[in-house]
Chain A
Amino acid sequence: GAVVSQHPSWVICKSGTSVKIECRSLDFQATTMFWYRQFPKQSLMLMATSNEGSKATYEQGVEKDKFLINHASLTLSTLTVTSAHPEDSSFYICSARESGTGGHYGYTFGSGTRLTIV
C-alpha cells in the first residue's frame, strides 16, 4: 500500500534556529500534500496545503513566513519552521494524496515529527 515517510521523527532545537521536516511519498506520486499540527491531547489542525510546483495555501492564522513549505517534486514536500520558539513545539504530521485518485480514499499519513524547542 501507499507509504509516506516523514523525517525526522523527533528533534530538539535551541530557540532561534530553523528546523526542516521532510515528507516523502515512497511508492506513489502526490500532487497535493497537507501539513498538520497537533498539540498534546488535541485534534489535528490543518496548517497548509502543499501543491507541487506552486505556492502553498495556508490556513487562516498560520504565518507563512514562519512555516515555509516547499513542494518541489511529486514525491517530496518540506516544512521549515524558521526562527523557532518554544511555542512552536508540537507534533507535526504530513499527509499525501495520490495523484489521479478520483475518490477521497487516497490519504496517507506520515508518522509525525515531535518538535521540541528549548
Chain B
Amino acid sequence: GIQVEQSPPDLILQEGANSTLRCNFSDSVNNLQWFHQNPWGQLINLFYIPSGTKQNGRLSATTVATERYSLLYISSSQTTDSGVYFCAVGVAGTASKLTFGTGTRLQVTL
C-alpha cells in the first residue's frame, strides 16, 4: 500500500514563529487532506488539497502532486496550534479510504 511519511516528527516553536511541515507520499493520489489533532484527540480538517495552493488565515498548504509531496505552513504560531498534524491521502480505486501519515507533533511555547 501507499506510504505516507511526515517530517519533522517533532517540533517545538516559540509563540509567533513560523513553521513548515512536510508530507511525502509514495504513489499517485486523488485525495490529500491535512488534519490537526488537538490534545484531547479530536481531529479537525484543515485543508482538502490534492493539488495546488490554499490559504486559510495563518495556515496555508501546497501540494505538488507530480513530485508527491505536500507542505503545510503555519505562520505566527499560537499556543492553540499545539497538537499533532496529520496528512492523509486517498488513492483511486480504494473506496474513499484515507491513509494517514506518520504525523508531526507540534508544541508552541510562550
Contacts and interface: CB of A to CB of B under 8 A. Distances in A.
B33 interface: yes
A19 interface: no
A111 B44 CA distance: 10
Interface in B61-110: 86, 88, 90, 95-103, 105
B55 interface: no
Contact of A107 (B45, B50, B86): B45
Interface string A101-118: 001110111011010000
Contact of A57 (B33, B95, B98): B95
Given A93-B43, A111-B40, A34 B97 contact: yes
A111 B42 contact: yes
B76 to A, nearest CB: 25
A36 B100 CA distance: 10
What does DSSP make chain A's interface, helix, strand, loop or mixed? Answer: strand
B20 interface: no
B60 interface: no
Interface string A80-118: 000000000001010101000001110111011010000
Given A46-B99, A111-B40, 18 more contacts: A32-B95, A32-B96, A41-B105, A43-B86, A43-B100, A43-B101, A44-B100, A45-B100, A46-B100, A49-B95, A91-B41, A93-B43, A104-B90, A104-B96, A105-B33, A108-B45, A112-B41, A114-B41
Interface of B: 30-31, 33, 35, 40-43, 45, 48, 50, 86, 88, 90, 95-103, 105
20 contacts: A32-B95, A32-B96, A34-B98, A36-B100, A38-B41, A41-B105, A43-B86, A43-B100, A43-B101, A43-B102, A43-B103, A46-B99, A49-B95, A95-B43, A104-B31, A104-B96, A109-B35, A111-B40, A112-B42, A114-B41
Interface of A: 32, 34, 36, 38, 41-46, 49, 57, 91, 93, 95, 97, 103-105, 107-109, 111-112, 114
